[in-house]
Structure 1
Amino acid sequence: MFAVAPEQLVAHLFRHEAGRLQAVLTRWLGLGRLTEAEDLVQDTLLEALAAWKLHGVPENPSAWLYKVAQRKTLDVLRREQRFRRIAGGLNQGINEETYAEQASALFLDEEIADSQLRMLFACCHPALPPDAQVALCLKTLCGLSVAEIAGAFLTSPDTINKRLYRARERIREGAIQLEVPSGPQLTARLAGVRQSLYLLFSEGYHSTHPDQLIRRELCEEALRLTRLLTKSPRTSQPETFALLALLCFQASRFDARTTELGTIVLLESQDRSRWNQSLIARGLRYLGQAAAGQQASAFHLEAAIALEHCRARHFAGTDWKAIVGYYDLLLARKPSAIVALNRAVALAYAEGPQSGLQAVLAVEGLARHRLYHAVLGELYYQALQPVKARQHLEQALQWTSSKAEQFLLQHKLDTIKAQGRGG
């Protein structure tokens, strides 16, 4: 028996099993009954909490949850079958033995994985807006509550509920199927799924949450779902492995990115002994599998940049020229202001702050972005132009809601003031 309190165990299992249960029950009932499947999962977890408080936690809690979820779903289907018989539709529906066979098949490990894969493609369907795709992934596959999703994206629960409602309406309209596409359609749809998982990880890793720099649960779910893609022959393409390699390299630095008090530790000051070598080794394996393709995708290039940081024993040993070269290729393949800004930072380290400044000032479209002004502030500081440094750091401070970022920017401003160089 487990020594942990039932409330804690149910909360843990909700995180790790709710998405799996949701995917299986939705596949069983049909995508149009997504909300009903969610209710059944919630009822199962509530029953677990009540039963385990009374009788203790079972030896295999996950199996217990699956069994109860099966029973509850079978009860729903049996009631519907009886209703059809009463209504005179004796030939409609299927018998209880068939329902039981369906349950046995759907709860096999490989079928649970397949159900999650189908749900992932449904959540990331192009008929849904990108913000609705991510919200639906977090709700149905990751087990996050509406309040948690709202907190992650700095919006209200009402806004998230509206996004989810509109997404479910599109599903009810029949525009989305619970399936993994095939043929030419798979390529385009898989690209959208990968991008959604990339955005999910990025929101956790570069969190805009005011109280948390790193939203680990978002990153962990992005890693889990990307690994799921690599385990299916239909979706285990080189670009998928490149994405997973990138996420592993980035996640390896989790423990070194903040202090115990939650303040930011910049890359140059991080204790590299705290970087997770197991994740880096895993990322290298995935990157090797990504090399099977004929061309380098944006994820290949981003993974290569992340690897350069991971392989440098100390900050001064970073091969910044190689990183600038990768950014040049990345800009050609994926033109964006943020990529150009990151390239400018790498150029500053490779050639000096003046080169970096020229590159940053050439970037368009980021005048109201906190990172743009933070980078300019740092480069002007390095170029011994404290007045401009202070101006841009104050702009960056104005545009961020992250307390950790506010602390870092204020510390830099205080340093300039203490040196008497900001007046």
Structure 2
Amino acid sequence: MPAVSAVEIERVFREEYGRSVAVLVRLVGDIDLAEEAVQDAFEKAVERWPSVGLPPSPAGWIITTARNRAIDRQRREASRGSRQAQALLLYTQDDPVEEGPVHDDRLRLIFTCCHPALAEPAQVALTLRLLGGLSTAEIARALLVSEPTMAQRIARAKAKIRDAGIPYRLPADTDLPERLRPVLAVVYLIYNEGYLSAGFGGEPSREQLCAEAIRLGRLLVELMPDEPEALGLLALMLLIQSRRPARVTPDGALVLLADQDRSRWDRELVAQGQALVRRCLRRGRPGPYQIQAAVNAVHSDAPTAAATDWRQIVQLYDQQMALAPTPVVALHRAVAVAETDGPAAALALVEPLALDGYYLWHAVRADLLQRLDRPDEAVPAYKAALARTRNPAERDQLERKLRALSPPQAH
């Protein structure tokens, strides 16, 4: 049998971890046990697969092995007289392993993780850990907190679910709307982590996470077809995803939106996203995800970067600032203002924003200073942006801008 490389095992982990944990949670009813069993199964795969080869169904192998590990642990618990463990053992022995497409398990797990008994930061962190398969370090970077703080947050969230007896199921129809906001936030964070990841292997994009987020977005729309923000999030992800073929050069360099070859955009995804935006507009209940989707629809309408309707984009950001003002939204609005009123007007909007820890604030500021022919100020701004991002494609782009702007001795 052909040898299985560590890269192939890593790929299976990235593709199947979230699904496997979700299936195991349904089978054993315990998040900690499910996660430990899946991790044990992948450790076993690392030992066995390099010598025996990849099994015909890697996902099925992982789920079966994890279930057997969980049953072994439950049997040990049952031998100590735990009635709950005995019941779980009987349940998992009778329940068939699910090796085909899993339609609802991951969605159930998201709603479990996003229960209102948990604080929203814990909801987001736990879902990224269990569904996205992200490490604690990756989640800490994504949410801008320390790794020990994040580890503690995830452990407390799991304990809360266990101790409070939070059920592993979809909420009732009447409870869905109030549970939707954190669920949408989690799905979008999973998408963003995949689209521009600071994660393993120096990959600028982790396509499987993007695909999983879009899959979950489609499930949410099926579950709540009348919720315009669910439609808006799916439209937003599809429109951003449509540009993926043009956003990185063959050698891995990031290509800015203005420089992308628009003929390479996925027109099918563009059409799907624009159709969803039109559905949102007909409902007349605007929200942040719908507005962001509308902004991306304006970009997708323009045959060239020069033809972009920037005034419409500024108006959309004005609407978002009225609905849900944040410094990040204000930053994106300022980028659009630079195209309508010039870099000086945009810089005046950017400077007061409290975003020193955000690499994009420094990158936008550097670009505006460069356009204003103020290189002595642009150079340190580019360096500040570099210090705040680990993504290799972003770093390469910033370094190229810095080299073009400053003599070698300046850095």
TM-score normalised by the chain length of structure 1 = 0.79
Cα distance, 1:332 vs. partner? 0.9
Report the counterpart of residue 156 of structure 2 in structure 1.
166
Structure 1 distance, partners of 2:231, 2:88, is 43
Report the counterpart of residue 270 of structure 2 in structure 1.
280
Cα distance, 1:180 vs. partner? 2.3
Higher Cα Rg: structure 1 or 2?
A: 1
**Aligned 8 A contact 1:386 1:416 in 2:** yes
Structure 1 distance, partners of 2:388, 2:41, is 43
Report the counterpart of residue 412 of structure 1 in structure 2.
401
Structure 1 distance, partners of 2:11, 2:375, is 50
Report the counterpart of residue 31 of structure 2 in structure 1.
34
Cα distance, 1:25 vs. partner? 2.2
1:308 corresponds to which of 275, 298, 304 = 298
Report the counterpart of residue 20 of structure 1 in structure 2.
19
Cα distance, 1:99 vs. partner? 5.5
Report the counterpart of residue 367 of structure 2 in structure 1.
378
Amino acid at match of 2:371: Q
**Aligned 8 A contact 2:112 2:166 in 1:** yes
Report the counterpart of residue 227 of structure 1 in structure 2.
218
Cα distance, 1:256 vs. partner? 2.6
Structure 2 distance, partners of 1:308, 1:415, is 31
Structure 1 distance, partners of 2:365, 2:43, is 52
Q: Which runs of 5+ in 1 are unaligned?
A: none
- Residues 169 and 78 of structure 1, relative CA distance in 2, 3 Å threshold: closer
Cα distance, 1:260 vs. partner? 3.8
- Residues 161 and 338 of structure 1, relative CA distance in 2, 3 Å threshold: closer
Cα distance, 1:8 vs. partner? 6.0
- Residues 242 and 95 of structure 1, relative CA distance in 2, 3 Å threshold: closer
Structure 2 distance, partners of 1:242, 1:259, is 29
SS at 1:365's partner residue? coil
Size of the aligned set, in residue pairs, is 407
Cα distance, 1:350 vs. partner? 2.1
Structure 1 distance, partners of 2:339, 2:244, is 23
**Aligned 8 A contact 1:245 1:283 in 2:** yes
TM-score normalised by the chain length of structure 2 = 0.81
Q: Which runs of 5+ in 2 are unaligned?
A: none
What is the 5 A alignment of 1:236-251? Answer: 237-251=227-241
**Aligned 8 A contact 2:24 2:63 in 1:** no
Structure 2 distance, partners of 1:56, 1:173, is 41
Structure 2 distance, partners of 1:404, 1:97, is 50
Amino acid at match of 2:170: V
**Aligned 8 A contact 1:357 1:379 in 2:** yes
Two-structure CA RMSD over aligned residues (Å): 3.9
Structure 1 distance, partners of 2:89, 2:382, is 67
1:137 corresponds to which of 117, 120, 127 = 127
What is the 5 A alignment of 1:1-400? Answer: 5=4, 10-30=9-29, 33-46=30-43, 57-73=54-70, 84=81, 101=94, 103-104=95-96, 107=98, 112-146=102-136, 149=139, 158-174=148-164, 176-207=166-197, 211=202, 213-231=204-222, 233-234=223-224, 237-291=227-281, 293-361=283-351, 363-366=352-355, 369-390=358-379, 392-397=381-386, 399-400=388-389
Structure 2 distance, partners of 1:9, 1:204, is 18
Amino acid at match of 1:121: F
SS at 2:103's partner residue? helix
- Identity rate of aligned residues, in percent? 36
Structure 1 distance, partners of 2:218, 2:338, is 35
Cα distance, 1:246 vs. partner? 0.3
Q: Deviations over 1:77-103 (max 9, x none)?
A: 56666665xx9x8x99659886555x1
**Aligned 8 A contact 1:120 1:137 in 2:** yes
Cα distance, 1:403 vs. partner? 5.2
Q: Deviations over 1:351-404 (max 9, x none)?
A: 33333234334x432355443343233223323444444464455455555554
Structure 2 distance, partners of 1:136, 1:126, is 13
- Residues 414 and 125 of structure 1, relative CA distance in 2, 3 Å threshold: same
Q: Deviations over 1:289-314 (max 9, x none)?
A: 54563412111110011111122221
Amino acid at match of 1:379: L
Bigger shift: 198-207 or 236-245?
A: 198-207
Amino acid at match of 1:383: L
Amino acid at match of 2:220: L
Structure 1 distance, partners of 2:183, 2:88, is 37
